[in-house]
Structure 1
Amino acid sequence: MGTAGAVRGRGGAGLLRLVQTVSSTRAFAKVAPHVIPALDRAVHRLTRGRVLPSARLLPGVVLTSTGARSGRPRRTPLACMPEPDGSGWILVGSNFGRPGHPAWTHNLLAHPDASISRQGEDVPVTALLLTGAERAAVWQALLAFWPPYAVYQGRVERELRIFRLTRAPEGA
């Protein structure tokens, strides 16, 4: 599976390499968590879920999970890798290569039933933390999809959490 066709279609391989290079920097890791999610949330809300600015670079979703401690809904815009067969989505708890697992990963571990908003559609999902050989295989696909994940993993001692989201059964 290749990297985001959205980038290739809107500026070519040069833009893709530039975005990957910039997103691999420590400066990006310091600034992006404060800017990108806020912009994504605002535009997503204003367009009633039809537009997610960061999804112009990578496929993305807005995850609604249940707070691990609070029990309240938490909305988090995230990049995702769609499964090749269309059966679900892969999320990486990279936290832009910063220490500490992102809060949304704790939420999914505590409450795996969640939903995503994707292209104006709300989809109930179930999250599964990948481990072992399954995680290793998906990790290789993720590195082909978005090489900066290797840089993020190299900056931290923790293992980046990888989740597979699948559509929840009807009526669940």
Structure 2
Amino acid sequence: MTTIDLDSPLDPPAGTWQEEHLSRYLRTGGQDGHLWHGAPTLLLTTCDHGLGRARRTPLIYGRDGDRYLVIASAGGRDEHPIWFRNLSADPQVRVQVFEESFPGRARTATGDEKPRLWKIMTALWPDYDGYQAGTVRDIPLVIIERI
């Protein structure tokens, strides 16, 4: 397996809301961008082996103790987002919260874990319930732990 440098990621396409959000987040160390429409966001970098590069994505996050939680909602679309497909193939990730950046390992919450953790996330972003109702796929909840 090829090692991918998680410290040199590709960013979202220019001109998109994600690119603009990411730019502000990076420029200010998260002081402008950590909160997005009132919800906390982090920057998640995954290994995209198809491109042979890392890919960075801003995502709403929650906390469960020391663990970080993100939801692979893709706005309720019927396909998983690229970042989730990437970490399904390679769980090694890099997370940035404000200026702090650290390596992590990601996994999908089990069926037993998901209901409690889902409530944490919908308290931050209630639209997740609507996204789930509007798609046939089971939207994954991802748990990230520092390594």
TM-score, normalisation: structure 2: 0.81
Per-residue deviation, 1:54: 5.7
Q: Secondary structure at the match of 2:79?
A: coil
What does residue 138 of structure 1 align with?
117
What one-letter code is carried by the residue in structure 2 that aligns with 1:166?
E
What does residue 142 of structure 2 align with?
163
What does residue 35 of structure 2 align with?
55
What one-letter code is carried by the residue in structure 2 that aligns with 1:67?
D
What does residue 46 of structure 2 align with?
65
Distance 2:92 2:52 in 1: 12
Does residue 124 of structure 1 match 2:99?
A: no
What one-letter code is carried by the residue in structure 1 that aligns with 2:35?
A
Identity of aligned residues (%): 28
What does residue 6 of structure 2 align with?
none
Instruction: Please state which structure has a larger fraction of its residues in strand.
Output: 2
- Cα 1:159–1:52 change in 2 (3 A) is farther
What whole-Å deviation, never above 9, does each CA across 1:102-145 have from its counterpart, x for those lacking one? 00001111111111111101111110111211122212332333
Does residue 99 of structure 1 match 2:108?
A: no
Q: Secondary structure at the match of 2:113?
A: helix
Distance 1:145 1:43 in 2: 21
Distance 2:110 2:140 in 1: 9
Unaligned runs of 5+ in 1: 1-33
Per-residue deviation, 1:70: 2.2
What whole-Å deviation, never above 9, does each CA across 1:22-44 have from its counterpart, x for those lacking one? xxxxxxxxxxxx74312112212
TM-score, normalisation: structure 1: 0.70
Instruction: Please state which structure has a larger fraction of its residues in helix.
Output: 1
Q: Secondary structure at the match of 1:59?
A: strand
